[in-house]
């Protein structure tokens, strides 16, 4: 990782260049911190728990729903209770967040 202004070698995670003081572009994971687990407003079927979990881990929501459905139908443990707890615990996605039309930008290719 190098300063974009002067090319100075920077410590991993540095926020400012030690040579010129230029603010260092944060790596992708810092600009887009791991998405909080939320229940999305869009694309939910019931409470949005499956959609939220799938979105959080970058999975397709359909297999997540199928697995949950199978688990519920088979009655392993108390999946319905777990679902309701998740419904209560996982916050709603904040309003005003635009519907994501594309994946978040990936980190610059030059980042180690
Ligand atoms: Zn610099």
Reference 13, options 22, 5, 25; nearest CA is 25
Mean pLDDT of 40-61: 75
Q: pTM for the complete prediction?
A: 0.42
Provide Rg for the chain, Cα atoms.
Answer: 20
The 8-class DSSP code of residue 95 comes to: T
Measure the CA–CA gap between 75 and 60, rounded to whole angstroms. 23
Least confident of 20-24, 89-93, 102-106, 108-112: 102-106
What total number of domains does the chain contain? 2
The boundaries of the domain holding residue 23 are 1-33
Measure the CA–CA gap between 101 and 107, rounded to whole angstroms. 18
- Domain co-membership, 77 together with 41: yes
Asked whether residue 109 is assigned to any structural domain, the reply reads no
- CA–centroid distance, 68 to ligand 1, in Å, is 51
- CA–centroid distance, 16 to ligand 1, in Å, is 8
- CA–centroid distance, 51 to ligand 1, in Å, is 42
Q: Is the pLDDT of residue 69 over 60?
A: yes
pLDDT value, residue 65? 81
- CA–centroid distance, 34 to ligand 1, in Å, is 28
- CA–centroid distance, 109 to ligand 1, in Å, is 19
Measured in Å, how far apart are the chain's first and last C-alpha atoms? 7
């Amino acid at each position: 990782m190098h300063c974009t202004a002067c090319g100075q070698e920077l410590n991993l995670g540095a926020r400012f260049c030690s040579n010129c003081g230029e603010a260092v572009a944060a790596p992708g994971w810092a600009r887009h911190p791991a998405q909080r687990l939320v229940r999305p407003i869009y694309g939910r079927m019931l409470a949005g728990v499956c959609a939220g979990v799938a979105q959080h881990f970058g999975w397709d929501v359909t297999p997540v729903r199928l697995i949950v459905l199978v688990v519920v139908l088979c009655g392993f443990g108390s999946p319905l209770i777990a679902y309701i707890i998740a419904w209560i615990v996982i916050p709603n996605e904040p309003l005003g967040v635009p519907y994501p039309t594309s994946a978040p930008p990936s980190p610059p290719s030059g980042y180690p």
